[in-house]
Amino acid sequence: MSHHRLVFDRVSYRYPDGTLALDGLSFELHHGDSVGLVGANGSGKSTLLSHLNGLLLPSQGSVSVGDLPVGPGTLAQVRQHVGLVFQDPDDQLFMPTALEDVAFGPRNQGMTQAQAEAAAMEALRSVGAEALAARPPQHLSLGQRSAVAIAAVLAGCPDFLALDEPAARLDPRARRRLITLLHGFKHSKLVASHDLDLVLELCPRVLVLKEGRLLADGDSRRLLSDPDLMQAAGLELPLSVSPRGMGAGPVI
């Protein structure tokens, strides 16, 4: 069974207070895709990401990963194939050391302690954080915690990697390291971000949301350079393509 296809089919979601957060969304992701997800605050980005591995389930429509419909009976399987990195790494890191945090997922997948620690060290190496293995997460910088949170997801060997505002609150150097890191990953990626220049660097394709609806889906540089579309979505042009950014040098 192939799990390298993720499908949203007319997905709507309404919160218990009656707020319609997603309204009939349909799109597909395939193996090797790197897709940005952009929209103003309240457009539905985080709600959409929470549907990828069943943290939320559709009020209408369906989500599937390969041949698996995302639902109460498939969550354990789906979460082996879709890894979600939260905006705040402190929402993911809760063990006494970084190594234990990263090994937590593999242990829950049935690995022995030794196997889980080996997988965790490999994941930490992949994000350049092996030296942090014995450190308590609360003693790490925000950029270091973000790297460990990504390693914790990678240790489970997902097919799809979803990231919610991965560069939020990072300083310019940590942001550049993150972009370099994500460039090297072969996973299919869905990156939700207000940092449109980061999206342009990482994602050839972009989904533009407005009030829970899909406003546009296509080539990132074409769509994010369209002033009318950006205005309709409640966004500004990326600095690298806006008149005020021209000639300002590379964005780091």
Place of tokens 């997905």: 11
Q: Are 172 and 154 in contact (CB under 8 A)?
A: no
User: 60-65 and 68-69 as β-strands: parallel, antiparallel, unpaired?
Assistant: antiparallel
Whichever domain contains 125, its CATH number is 3.40.50.300
- What 3-state class would DSSP assign to 129? coil
Phi, psi torsion values for 9, nearest 5 degrees: -120, 100
Is the predicted pLDDT of residue 243 greater than 90, yes or no?
Answer: no
Q: Which of 221, 226, 240, 218 is nearest to 33 (CA)?
A: 218
In a domain, 150, yes or no: yes
The one-letter code for the residue type at 2 is S
Own/partner pairs, 67-75, CB within 8 angstroms, 24+ separation: 67/1, 67/2, 68/1, 68/3
DSSP character at residue 70? P
Q: How far is CA 55 from CA 100, 154, 177, 242, in A?
A: 23, 18, 29, 37
In a domain, 249, yes or no: no
In a domain, 162, yes or no: yes
Q: Which domain holds residue 69?
A: 5-232
Number of independent structural domains in the chain: 1
Q: Are 6 and 188 in contact (CB under 8 A)?
A: yes
In a domain, 9, yes or no: yes
Name the region of 166 (left: φ>0; alpha: ψ -120 to 50; beta: rest). alpha
Question: Which tokens is 144 given?
Answer: 């270091």
In a domain, 89, yes or no: yes
Distance CA 139, CA 48 (A): 32
Query: Tens of pLDDT along 13-50?
Result: 999 999 999 999 999 999 899 999 999 999 999 999 99
In a domain, 146, yes or no: yes
User: Mean pLDDT, the chain, as a whole number?
Assistant: 90
- 160 has which bridge partners? 82, 188
Query: Tens of pLDDT along 75-123?
Result: 988 988 899 998 888 888 899 999 999 999 888 888 999 999 999 999 9
The sheet carrying 68-69 orders its strands as: 20-30, 5-14, 60-65, 68-69
Work out the pLDDT band at 71, boundaries 50, 70, 90.
very high
Q: Are 34 and 110 in contact (CB under 8 A)?
A: no
In a domain, 238, yes or no: no
Q: Mean pLDDT check: name the lowest of 15-19, 154-158, 204-208.
A: 154-158
Chain centroid, CA 92 distance in Å = 13
In a domain, 199, yes or no: yes
Cβ neighbours for 112, distance < 8 A, ≥ 6 positions apart? none
